[in-house]
Structure 1
Amino acid sequence: MAPAPLPDDDSRPVVLDRRDGPFGEVVLRRHGELLQIIANGCFLMDTSDGRSERLLVTAALDALDDRPDPAVLIGGLGVGFSLEQAAAEPRWGRVTVVEREPAVIDWHRAGPLGARTAPALADPRTELVRADLLDHLRTASATYDALCLDIDNGPDWTVTSGNDGLYSPTGLATCRARLNPGGVLAVWSAQPSEDFPRKLRNAGFTDVRTREIPVARGVPDVLFLASHHLARQSA
């Protein structure tokens, strides 16, 4: 009797690409209709939802004043939700995306993720920069009205070595220095943090607030928002 064929279903992920990158192994796989990114064996993100990643950009824009053509920097390309949201909003005058993983950039430019993000990447306002985000913030001459950071799993749980430096006092001070007056820092996190709002205030940010976004399973995603207002000069 011939063996029964394996079930033709979507129960097992299929690896589409596996790379040894400068910061460890990164994997793109398909699980049913979803595309997933795995870094050093840890699940990072997939294409299942994206509400909180889109809200990261929307909330930053809502927190700005009515200045014309504000510039936004998106830290981390991921599966492209934040980029898509920014490109869909005509108010943004300039959209810069900083991503340090060559594989992730390739998957968007010439791979399966490009089916989602090709129009956003082709938008003349969009610039895709391959760089470590903190290095870019330290060395770039441009300033921004909003920084929307979706790096690793957030300030309290980083998978990749070195990412925690972005959320350190020095890293937050670098973010603040790159913002125009009245600008907004928006940070995505996979979990709440009791300590991070205090770190933001200690770094000189004001109007620090948090927003939780429920997810299907587990703790909610969290957005941290903070403003960069220059101190008033005494008379």
Structure 2
Amino acid sequence: MARFTLLGTATIPGKGTELRLLQRNDEFSIKIAGSTGELMNSRLHGSEDALATLACERISELPSPRVLIGGLGMGFTLAAALKSLGSDAQVTVAELVPEVESWNRGPLGGAAGYPLEDPRARVHIGDVVELIRQSPAAFDAILLDVDNGPEGLTRKENDWLYTSAGIHAAQAALTPDGVLAYWSAGQDPAFTERLKRAGLSVEPVTVRAHRPGKGARHVIWLAW
């Protein structure tokens, strides 16, 4: 079996943790240096696709829908959002690590079909938390896949997004008919209750990492 080749490294701002982009044939992997596990793999993106599809189908009939995605990753959520929306949509991706955008404009981009080349897509390099705080009633959908879920893995500051204050800030950045969608590696009943206490209707959806019936079970919360 072919071995992975290192294509690039990047440091997470404020953390010092190194991300590593690797390639083996047509397969890509993003890992944290020193860790044996993967953050992302280009062959396992079913739940990232579902994050966009489940949320965007709720707003697809709105005129000129505006979507915010927290975390570019390998571009699969962005690609699925663009596929689900019409030509008048605008999708903003907030990405903290500049090199991740460069990777997606380079060889990694082919895995998801180069969604950054779509004129409806734009990238905001910076913290999605700050963009949410600065954008009252700006988005019809906010899709958050910035970490491992309610318990941050790569960056402890990400935990704030899942607190009551973070949920209220995200609500304030939504239009009146907007929807929030959160990706997680696993269930978290406490987070479900936190969303409900914020006055939101909540639907946790279990999806597969690979495709229907295959791969690990991940969770997407839809809240509106």
TM-score range, shorter chain: 0.7 to 0.9
CA distance in 1, matches of 2:101, 2:60: 32
Is 1:193 aligned to residue 188 of structure 2?
A: yes
Q: Select the residue among 32, 40, 62 that pairs with 1:39.
A: 32
- Per-residue CA distance 1:28-71 (angstroms, 9 max, x = gap): 01234311111354421110131111111111122337322211
**Equivalent position of 2:102 in the other structure:** 106
Q: TM-score, normalised by structure 2?
A: 0.87
**Are 1:78 and 2:69 counterparts?**
no
Partner of 1:14: 5
The 2-side partners of 1:128 and 1:36 are apart by 21
Aligned to 2:23: 30
Whole-Å separation in 2 of the counterparts to 1:34 and 1:88: 22
Using the TM superposition, name which of 86-95 and 141-150 deviates more.
Answer: 86-95
| Runs (5+) with no aligned partner, structure 1 | 1-8, 228-235
**Highest relative contact order (Cα 8 Å, sep 6+), 1 or 2?**
2
Q: TM-score, normalised by structure 1?
A: 0.84
Q: Is the 8 A contact 1:13 1:30 kept in 2?
A: yes
Given that 1:21 and 1:103 are in contact with CA atoms closer than 8 Å, whether structure 2 keeps it comes out as no
1:127 has 2:122 as partner = yes
Give structure 2 stretches of 5+ with no counterpart: none
Amino acid at match of 1:35: F
Runs of 4+ in 1 over 6 A off after TM superposition: none
CA distance in 2 between counterparts of 1:187 and 1:221 reads 11
Identity %: 36
SS at match of 1:113: helix
- Which whole-Å CA distance do the structure 2 matches of 1:161 and 1:204 have between them? 26
1:128-177 Cα shifts (integer Å, max 9, x gaps):
11010101111235611001111111113433221111111111111000
* Whole-angstrom distance in 2 between the partners of 1:220 and 1:118: 25
Q: Deviations over 1:98-127 (max 9, x none)?
A: 100112111112x32122456421222111
Distance 1:219 1:55, change over 3 A: closer
Any idea what SS the aligned residue of 1:155 has?
A: coil
1:173 matched to 2:168 = yes
Q: CA offset at residue 185 of structure 1?
A: 0.3
* Bigger mean CA offset, 62-71 vs 150-159: 62-71
State which of 45, 52, 63 in structure 2 corresponds to 1:50.
45
Q: For the aligned residues, what is the CA RMSD?
A: 2.1
For the residues of structure 2 that align with 1:183 and 1:126, how far apart are their CA atoms?
19
Q: Structure 1's 40 and 171: CA in aligned 2 closer, same or farther, altered over 3 A?
A: farther
Structure 2 CA distance for aligned equivalents of residues 119 and 215 of structure 1:
21
Paired amino acid for 2:217:
P
CA distance in 1, matches of 2:90, 2:69: 11
Number of aligned residue pairs: 216
Please tell me the residue identity of whatever aligns with 1:93: A
